[in-house]
Structure 1
Amino acid sequence: MSNPVFFAPAGSLDQVEPAGLVTVDGAEARHAVTVKRLSPGEGVDLVDEQGTRVIGEVESSDSGELVVRALKIVREPSPSPRLILVQALAKGDRDEQAIESATELGIDGVIPWQSDRSIVRWRGDRAVKALAKWRSVVRAATKQSRRARTPEVEDVLDSAGLARRIAQGGAAFILHEDAATSLASQLGDVAALEGDVLLIVGPEGGISPAEVAAFEAAGARMALLGPHVLRSSSAGPAALVVASTVLGRW
Structure 2
Amino acid sequence: MQRYFVPSNQWQDQTLTITDDDYHHIVNVMRMKEGQSIICSSNGMSYLCEIVQIHDKEVTCQVLEKLNENQELPITVTLAQGLPKGDKLDFIVQKATELGMKYFAPLQLDRSIVKWDHKKEQKKLERLRKIAKEASEQSHRAVVPTIHEKHTLKELFNNHSFDHCWVASELVAKEDVKHSPSFKEAIQQVKEGEHILLIVGPEGGFSDEEIHFLEELKCRSIRLGPRILRTETAPLYALSAMSFYFEEWRCEV
TM-score tier (shorter): 0.7 to 0.9
| Conservation of the 8 A alpha-carbon contact between 2:162 and 2:196 | no
**Which of 9, 15, 34 is 2:7 aligned to?**
9
One of 91, 100, 113 as aligned partner of 1:119: 113
Match of 1:33 among 14, 19, 27: 27
Q: Distance in 1 between matches of 2:77 and 2:7?
A: 26
- Counterparts of 1:12 and 1:151, CA distance in 2: 20
Matches within 5 A, 1:230-249: 230-248=229-247
Q: Where do 1:79-228 residues align within 5 Å?
A: 81-164=75-158, 168-179=161-172, 180-192=180-192, 194=194, 196-228=195-227
Deviation at 1:169, TM superposition (A): 3.7
CA deviation string 1:46-74 (max 9, x = no partner): 112x2121112333435533233322214
Q: How many Å apart are 1:162 and its aligned residue?
A: 3.2
Q: Report the 3-state secondary structure (helix = DSSP H, G, I; strand = E; otherwise coil) of the residue aligned with 1:32.
A: helix
Aligned: 1:47 with 2:41: yes
* CA distance 1:212–1:164, shift in 2 (3 Å): farther
Unmatched tracts of structure 2, length 5 or more: 173-179
Contact in 1 for aligned 2:51/2:60 (Cα 8 Å): yes
Contact 1:34 1:63 (C-alpha < 8 Å) held by counterparts: no
After TM superposition, give the deviation of residue 42 of structure 1 in Å.
2.9
Instruction: Please give the root-mean-square deviation of Cα atoms over the aligned residues, in Å.
Output: 2.5
Query: Does the aligned pair in 2 maintain the 1:40–1:58 contact within 8 Å?
Result: yes
Query: 4+ residue runs of structure 1 moved beyond 6 angstroms?
Result: 75-78
Equivalents in 2 of 1:248, 1:143: separation in Å? 20
CA distance in 2, matches of 1:65, 1:114: 40
Q: Distance in 1 between matches of 2:223 and 2:105?
A: 21
- Quote the residue 2:177 is aligned against: none
2:5 touches 2:133 (CA, 8 Å); kept in 1? no
3-state DSSP of counterpart to 1:11: helix
Aligned partner of residue 69 in structure 1, secondary structure: strand
The DSSP-based 3-state class of the residue aligned with 1:200 is: strand
With 240-249 and 69-78 compared, the bigger mean Cα shift is at: 69-78
Are the structure 2 counterparts of residues 79 and 247 from structure 1 closer, same or farther at C-alpha, using a change threshold of 3 Å? closer
On the 8 A contact 2:74/2:246 being kept in 1, the answer is no
Q: Could you state the TM-score of these two structures normalised by the residue count of structure 1?
A: 0.85
1:171-211 Cα deviation digits (max 9, x unpaired): 110012333133233111012453x2011111001112221
Letter in 2 for 1:38: M
CA distance 1:31–1:178, shift in 2 (3 Å): same
Tell me the CA shift for residue 215 of structure 1. Answer: 0.9
Q: Secondary structure at the match of 2:242?
A: helix
Amino acid corresponding to residue 73 of structure 1 in structure 2: K
Q: Give the total of aligned pairs.
A: 241
CA distance in 1, matches of 2:58, 2:131: 25
Compare 120-129 and 100-109 and name the one that shifted more: 120-129
Structure 2 CA distance for aligned equivalents of residues 219 and 193 of structure 1? 21
For the 8 Å contact 2:97–2:135, the answer to whether it is kept is yes
Give the CA deviation at 1:142: 2.1
Identity over aligned residues, as a percent? 29
1:144 is displaced (CA, Å) by 2.8
Residue 61, structure 1, aligned to residue 54, structure 2: yes
- Change in CA separation of 1:129 and 1:71 when aligned onto 2, cut-off 3 Å: same
Give me the whole-angstrom Cα distance separating, in 1, the residues matched to 2:217 and 2:52.
54
